[in-house]
Structure 1
Amino acid sequence: MGKRAEHGAGTPATLALEKAGITFAPHLYEHDAQATSFGLEAAEKLGLDPARVFKTLLAEADGTLVVGLVPVTRQLDLKALAASVGAKKAVMADPKTAERKTGYVVGGISPIGQKTALPTVIDEDAQLFDTVFVSGGRRGFDIELTPADLAGMTGAVFAAIARA
């Protein structure tokens, strides 16, 4: 993985990683406007094990926005997410709220470089891999980095928040 590579114009995510001196690899692919599962599309187009590709989801846990990162092959367990941040209940956030708070569009929301720093929880399965993939800040662009660097950049904790 190289810190700097040809990845087009910097996104807030890549700029934050570069500023922090974090090694990452950018991965561009041709986004299909008809795609509805952005994470599975990324895994397919990049030829990756989908278990290594994590989707960024926003939920409201007792009224506080929280970011949950889970493998694209699994679902976010809202009860587990709530428990991991000490809340009683969590519901998925409104997509418009998610876009406004993160500065990214749905399908391209990166957990890194968001406009508003939000509590973040990464599914513990991320730790099974040397590197994982998350959105780089726009559709058709993922970044690869270590789970430890991802947690460090987002202030995240690891917890079992994914379900089949």
Structure 2
Amino acid sequence: MTMPDQALPESAQRVADLLAGIGHDRPVVMLPATGKTSAEAAAGLGCSVAEIAKSIIFRRVADDAPVLVIASGSNRVDEAKVAARVGALGKADARFVREKTGYAIGGVCPIGHAVAPVMLLDQDLFRYDSLWAAAGHPHAVFNLTPHQLQQMTGAEVADVAIAAAGTPGAAA
């Protein structure tokens, strides 16, 4: 990882400035290899995949609004659960993601979006003391607690994960 005082790519510097502006005390760090997937980020950070707070963007059909689901890296998002809370969802292509968030896929930060998204925060993230989230670039991340993430985003905490086999409510 690069040291916090090294120059960051422009999009990651924008996130570092946003974090500093809200008094967040942890730096944006650059991974030596890509963190585009939760598994890649976890490997680079030496944490569990579940401790990656991944940002997934959907398009709300009714009004073309961006919907941001911040989920534990080990969870698959249940689109039906999300749609039940926010309305019918459509796929968000790379152009939509860039236009609405200001970030490229693989680097979507939970804060600092071009268009304020509808947000949901995976309740499973609160199982962990420490999380890592993308910081505006596929190699950039920052550390925070689940409570800090909720404060920064104002996101509603919700059950957004597909139930794992063998758990209540899971399909056999």
Q: Same fold (TM over 0.5)?
A: yes
Aligned to 2:157: 158
Taking only the aligned residue pairs, the percentage that are identical comes to: 26
Q: What is the root-mean-square deviation in Å for CA atoms of aligned residues?
A: 2.1
Q: Secondary structure at the match of 2:136?
A: strand
TM-fit CA distance, 1:25? 4.1
Unaligned runs of 5+ in 2: 165-172
Task: Provide the rounded CA distance (Å) in 1 between the counterparts of 2:96 and 2:151.
Answer: 25
Aligned to 1:69: 70
C-alpha offsets along residues 36-67 of structure 1, whole Å, 9 cap, x if unaligned? Answer: x5221010111111101021111123433210
**What TM-score, normalized by structure 1, do the two folds share?**
0.84
Structure 2 vs 1, CA of residues 123 and 7 (structure 1 numbering), >3 Å: closer, same or farther?
Answer: farther
Task: Provide the rounded CA distance (Å) in 1 between the counterparts of 2:72 and 2:110.
Answer: 13
Larger CA Rg, structure 1 vs 2: 2
Q: Which amino acid aligns with 1:97?
A: F
Task: Provide the rounded CA distance (Å) in 1 between the counterparts of 2:73 and 2:125.
Answer: 12
- Tell me if 1:11 matches 2:13: yes
Q: Secondary structure at the match of 1:75?
A: coil
TM-fit CA distance, 1:7? 5.6
Greater strand fraction, Structure 1 or Structure 2: 1
Structure 2 vs 1, CA of residues 7 and 92 (structure 1 numbering), >3 Å: closer, same or farther?
Answer: farther
Structure 1 segments, 4+ long, off by >6 Å, are: none
Unaligned runs of 5+ in 1: none
- 1:65-144 equivalences in 2 (<5 Å): 65-85=66-86, 87=87, 89-144=88-143
Q: Is the 8 A contact 2:130 2:143 kept in 1?
A: yes
- Tell me if 1:23 matches 2:25: yes
C-alpha offsets along residues 54-86 of structure 1, whole Å, 9 cap, x if unaligned? Answer: 21111123433210111222211111112233x
Q: Which amino acid aligns with 1:110?
A: C
Q: Secondary structure at the match of 1:138?
A: coil
Q: Secondary structure at the match of 1:137?
A: coil
